[in-house]
Amino acid sequence: MDLSSLNKMQHLAVTTTEGSVLIIAGAGSGKTGVLTKRIAYLISEKGVYPNNILAFTFTNKAAREMKQRVENMVGDYANGMWLGTFHSICVRILRREADKLGYKSDFVIYDTSDRKVLIKECMKELNINDKQIPVNMVQNLISSAKNDLISPNEFKDNVYGEYPVDVIAKIYELYQTKIVKNNAMDFDDLIWNVLKLFGEYTQVLEYYQNKFKYVHVDEYQDTNKAQYKLIRYFALSHKNLCVVGDEDQSIYSWRGADITNIYSLEKDFPDIKLIKLEQNYRSTQNILNAANAVIEKNTERKEKQLWTDNGIGEKIKYYGASNEYKEAEFVVGEILKKSFKSGFKYSDFAILYRTNAQSRVFEDILLKNNIPYTIVGGLKFYERKEIKDFISYMRLIQNSVDDVSFMRVVNSPKRSIGAKSLEKMSEFGRINDLSMFQSAAILLESGAFSKKASDGLNGFLNFIMTYSNKKAELSAMDIYNAIYSESGYVDSLIVENTIEAKSRIENIKEFKNVIEEFEKSEEDKTLENFLAMISLKSDVDSLTEDDSAVVMMTIHSAKGLEFPVVFLVGLEENIFPSSMSLSEDSEAKEERRLCYVGITRAEKLLYLTNAYQRNRFGRTEVNSPSRFLADIPFDYMESITGESPVLVKQKISFSGEFSKYKTDDIFSKKDSKSSIKRFTNSLESSTKPQNDNLDINTGDKIEHTKFGIGTIVAYDVKKDMITIAFETNGIKKLKKSLSPITKL
């Protein structure tokens, strides 16, 4: 095998096959190539059987590409290796072993919205008001508990903020009972259940330990505790483990990713060899300088300097727009110019932003200019109502005890089955420990429903039952066709005959193409496999390389990708870094890493933009240029307008009693109870801001020209801005002030 294209460190990483290896790979250092060549090397030079090789990737797309590249090097023979995301590998194992865990092998996978529905149901059953305890919070707590391997029982002993732990533990417990009863697993369960399997069945564990003699993990910095334990199980007996990661690119801590996994590794695998890849092959020196300048501000990181011999390259282009439309017009203008003059294809351009909502304006302007584009993520195709409904029909046919799906489609299209009837079914099911489907069938026999409801329900149950019985002989496409023509769903849309209904039908037809694609590319054409595939599909998975279209996505989604020209947009305080992140971590460490990831996606040209004003939540917001802009020395940049990023620097300096001061230049986020609460909580847990010139205390009176006199309940001072939560006549308001507060 020809390894001459590799540098010294890369060569070492490829050929150190025995024992454990930690590869610290900077952005653009060719780690994917190294990982691929390493696997190919194992097969062709070391004679390792492909089915003894396991590799975890971050996305299915990465897995697919890696597999392809290995096959190109060593032939189709490589097909036997197991290469996929943690989730898809776990599903593969769980299908075989489901019965050992009290599941049937045709279990379905719940996504975040299904999980939410089920949690709501649990809370309703436990008589817990979702006004007091928000469902989203419960959801996050349960998910992080699962990622930290904390069971419902253990949950009570853990402190999770100031929330009523015992109540949440109860919800968690009921949720877990229900999800098992529904023969369903959520994303976290997929990992958890494999751990359980390995913990309880030594022979199963030994089988897999024995099978996978070489284990690889890509994007290691973004693994969580549960995933680490899984890696450990797989690799601890033979210790042939190769992990690749970069602490500077750790951007998923909010999903449970745990950077200390790197240190656990050194404990569990004491002989681990460290290999650093610091030469960058992707970007110009200017781009790397900017990236280094941004990431350097993070303390507590291991020193690492990316370098390249790609040459200095063009300076980074900076543009400060007056608002988000001007920002988008500038970006699109540059795309037009560059694609005409410099020979870039549309697909060479990527627009990267912090939040999905930012894509709208760009979409607008691109559309106006007839430039083709693709958006990754955002309003996902599979999350559209009609598609979710179709999927629910499919799931119910696959697994009739799935109550969440049952509830979703039993009266859609309208079958005159209302709240009363549903209540009867779920009550009956609860008492007799039956699924909604079973309950419905029994109650129907005994004539528990009105004539209209009975007729509707009868047709529905028969339809599901007919195809449920035949599912083994039918493909995913057969089932789709059945739902299309026999469930009455599409018929009712045709009757509706509105523009909206028509577009729904269009989407349903589009969904057929998805199934067609699936049947073309997959060997296993069953409904079961189709459902698993779409649940575990990530947004970037559907991104194709040769599409001649500008690509738009969040920076999170762009991880692992690269583009000749990158526009990093919306570089404003409160947007990027996000205001949400600032309340948890005032230094915005993870946001900084995210910025680093964004910058290092660029190969040749990098544009940085901000808007001084933008509309959000239907209101005009004014935000200073992002601190990240200020961190990049201007030597590496050039400004399109000639102006450098203007920090809105208006120092708040006053002393004395606060009640003597007033301000009228206060603009606000909309007053939301939860945002005030979150804000107040975060301030209570952090240290009070220090500012010599400032003498603010909670309890102080403040006068505002619009809102009158109020009492400060919380405040925070950033370098150019003061945020105050204050109460007027019992109403709490959250306000921000840019201009100095003046004497009364």
| Positions marked active-site | 31-32, 218-219, 249, 601
Least distance in angstroms from the C-beta of 142 to DNA: 12
* Side chain identity at residue 96, one-letter code: R
Token pair 């920076």 in the structure block, residue: 555
When the beta carbons of 53 and 191 are compared against DNA, the nearer one is 191
In terms of Cα–Cα distance, which of 67, 46, 49 is closest to 57? 67
Token pair 């010139």 in the structure block, residue: 693
b/e 455-472 (16+ beta carbons within 10 angstroms → b): ebbeebbebbeebbeebe
Residue 136 CA to residue 722 CA, distance in Å, equals: 29
Least distance in angstroms from the C-beta of 525 to DNA: 22
In terms of Cα–Cα distance, which of 735, 742, 741, 732 is closest to 621? 735
When the beta carbons of 20 and 624 are compared against DNA, the nearer one is 624
Residue 243 CA to residue 602 CA, distance in Å, equals: 25
Q: 575 is written with which tokens?
A: 């947007």
For the chain, give the number of residues.
744
When the beta carbons of 48 and 251 are compared against DNA, the nearer one is 251
Is 617 within 8 Å of 627 (Cβ atoms)?
no
When the beta carbons of 262 and 533 are compared against DNA, the nearer one is 533
Least distance in angstroms from the C-beta of 93 to DNA: 15
Residue 36 CA to residue 222 CA, distance in Å, equals: 20
CA end-to-end span of the chain, whole Å?
80
Dihedral of CA 37/40/42/44: which sign? Answer: negative
- Residues near DNA (CB under 7 A): 59, 85-87, 111-112, 130, 134, 136, 187, 251, 254-255, 354-357, 377, 411, 414-421, 450, 452-453, 536, 538-540, 553-554, 556-557, 578, 580-581, 584, 616-618, 670, 672-675
Residue 559 CA to residue 249 CA, distance in Å, equals: 8
When the beta carbons of 196 and 255 are compared against DNA, the nearer one is 255
Residues forming a β-bridge with 353: 554
Contacts of 476 (CB under 8 A, 6+ apart): 394, 515, 518, 519, 525, 526, 527, 529, 530
Least distance in angstroms from the C-beta of 361 to DNA: 12
Least distance in angstroms from the C-beta of 552 to DNA: 11
- Alpha helix segments (H runs only) across 433-559: 436-445, 451-470, 476-486, 489-496, 499-521, 527-536, 555-558
Least distance in angstroms from the C-beta of 587 to DNA: 14
Q: How far is CA 104 from CA 97, 112, 152, 400, 432, in A?
A: 9, 22, 22, 12, 20
Least distance in angstroms from the C-beta of 273 to DNA: 29
Least distance in angstroms from the C-beta of 616 to DNA: 7
Least distance in angstroms from the C-beta of 365 to DNA: 16
When the beta carbons of 110 and 484 are compared against DNA, the nearer one is 110
When the beta carbons of 171 and 540 are compared against DNA, the nearer one is 540
Question: How many of the other CB atoms lie within 10 Å of CB of 428?
Answer: 18
When the beta carbons of 295 and 696 are compared against DNA, the nearer one is 295
Q: How far is CA 131 from CA 124, 128, 169, 673, 725, in A?
A: 12, 9, 18, 11, 22
When the beta carbons of 187 and 234 are compared against DNA, the nearer one is 187
